[in-house]
Every structure is written in C-alpha cells, then in structure tokens.
Amino acid sequence: MKNWFLKLFLTSAVSIFIFMSFSARADIIEFKIKKLFIPITTSFNGNSVNINGATDIEGNIVFIVSSKKEVHTLTQKVKTDGIWVTKKIAKVDNIPDFYAILTTAPINIDAYKDFRYTVGAFNAKYNIVYNKTSNSDEYVWRKLVKAKIDNGKYIYNPNAVKRRGRYLFDVSLDLPSNIENGYYDFRAFVETENGLVGFYNELVLIERDGFTKFVYASAINYSVLYAIIVIFISLLIGYGVSFVGKRR
C-alpha cells in the first residue's frame, strides 16, 4: 500500500515537474525514465522500462529506442547433401543490435527517409561489408531486419504510447533477455501535419552488474586467469564430492 502510494506520488511529481518546465514554451516534448541504469544480474530475464512524459504538441508521439551501432553477421541455412547447414552470407556494419519504434498510432515507416531521426530500421544508413549471395544488398538488408524482428530485437508497437489527458503520456518498453550491454538512446518526437516536431532524448545504460559483470569481465579481460580459476574450482568441486562420497 505504502509502495503503491509512493509510486503514484513520484509519477505525479515527475509529470508535474515536466509539465511546469515546458509550460511556458511551445512545441516541446519531454520525458523522464525512472531508472537510467538497468543492471543485468544473474536473475535478469528482460526488463520493463517505464517512461512518463508530457508534450504540448498535438499529433502522434513517436519513441525510438536504439542501441549502439555495430557489425552484424547474417547467416543462412542452406541444404547441402540433404542436410541443412549454416553459412555466413553477409556482414553488415553500422546497425543497432536493438531498435524499437513505439507510437500512439500507426505510422507509415517507409515514408520517413529523413535520416535525422532514422525512423524505421529499413531507413537506416547500413553499410554492407560483404555480400556473398547473388541477391542485392537491399535483399540482404531486409532479410537481416526480418531476422532481427523474429529475435525480438527490432520492435514496432504502434499503440504502446498512451496519452493521458491533453499533455501527459506514458509508455512501457519490454526489453528482451538477450539484449546487449551498452547505452540505449531513447528519443521522442511528435508526428504532425508539418512533419516531425520536437525532439528529446535520454540515455539509459544497460550493463551486467554484480556476479555476471565479474564473470564476464574476468572471462574477457583476464581470460588466462579466468581459465585457471574455472579449472581450480572444478577440481575442488570434484575433490569435494569424492571426499563426501568416501565418508558416506
């Protein structure tokens, strides 16, 4: 009960603060994310990011969430001698691992070729490093985006943003458990008859924390030491079990 009241109070306070801060201005959109750091601990199984915001602009609120851009490898299962084997067919650079579009109403993604906002993964400035297929780069790119959508890494939810009254809105984003570490850029603007208006962004850090961070950092940065520790602990467990077995 107390916790519920506290949440309501904080949400209201944040909303009022946002509203007060831009009430004197025009064409403004602002939002607050409760947690700017999402730890990936041993019990992490995806996470919900709750956002509260306000705008004085009439129109379709558009949220774009994007992770850092990096190289991706596209593989294809090919039937060889009756067996399906995996082959690397293309490498594409400069694309985010995670990408989400959340709006109050459906938008025509293909209409946005304006790269200022990179609305829609299909409009991104991708860079094909190699394409081993006989198909066009566009074909490879579309297959990659489709694979990302199937993985839950590229999301388009046209009714995720809910307006609460004339100014306030809120949105919730469910991040998958197979998400990558790093900064995630949360951007918001409004789609109006005059195009895209207003712009606001926040960065959220999603990173391994605690034991998972320790294990990962050790495995990557001190791999030899990590190997020795893994071997030592395994030997210890094996010896411990044999010792218990002997006593029994």
Partner 1 sequence: MYVYLPIAEMAVSVLSLIALGCGVGILSGMLGISGGFLLTPILILMGIPSSIAVASQSAGVIATSTTGVMGHWRGGFVDFKMVVYIVIGGVMGSSFGVWLFSYLDKAGNLESTIKISYVVLLGIIGTFMFLELGRTKFKRRNATKIQKFHHHNIFHHLPFRTKFKKSRLYISVIPPIFIGFFIGVLSAVMGIGGGFMMVPAMIYLLGMHTSVVIGTSLFQTLFVSINTTFWQASVNNTVDFLLSLVLLTGGVVGALIGVRLSKYLKVEQLRFILALIVMAVAIKLFVDLLSIPLDIFSVVSGEASK
Q: Which residues bind partner 1 (CB under 8 A)?
A: 40-46, 70-77, 82-88, 91, 97, 143-144, 146-148, 150-151, 177-178, 180, 208, 211-213, 215-216, 219-220, 223-224, 226-228, 230-231, 233-235, 237-239, 241-243, 245-246
User: Can you say whether the dihedral through the CA atoms of 24, 28, 32, 36 is positive or negative?
Assistant: negative
Least Cβ distance, residue 21 to partner 1 (angstroms): 37
Residue whose CB is less far from partner 1, 145 or 190: 145
Residue whose CB is less far from partner 1, 165 or 245: 245
Least Cβ distance, residue 226 to partner 1 (angstroms): 6
Least Cβ distance, residue 100 to partner 1 (angstroms): 16
Residue whose CB is less far from partner 1, 13 or 85: 85
**What is the spatial distance between Cα 92 and Cα 69, in angstroms, rounded to a whole number?**
10
Give the number of other Cβ atoms within 10 Å of residue 121's Cβ: 24
Residue whose CB is less far from partner 1, 32 or 148: 148
Pair 186, 160: CB distance under 8 Å: no
Least Cβ distance, residue 245 to partner 1 (angstroms): 7
**What is the spatial distance between Cα 235 and Cα 247, in angstroms, rounded to a whole number?**
18
* 16 SS3 class: helix
* 51 SS3 class: strand
Nearest to residue 66, comparing CAs of 159, 197, 182, 200? 182
Phi, psi for 106 (deg, rounded to 5): -60, 145
Q: Which residue has the tokens 């495995």?
A: 219
**What is the spatial distance between Cα 117 and Cα 96, in angstroms, rounded to a whole number?**
14
Q: How far, in whole angstroms, is CA 51 from its chain's centroid?
A: 14
Least Cβ distance, residue 222 to partner 1 (angstroms): 9
**What is the spatial distance between Cα 53 and Cα 16, in angstroms, rounded to a whole number?**
10
Residue whose CB is less far from partner 1, 35 or 68: 68
Least Cβ distance, residue 142 to partner 1 (angstroms): 10
Residue whose CB is less far from partner 1, 19 or 216: 216
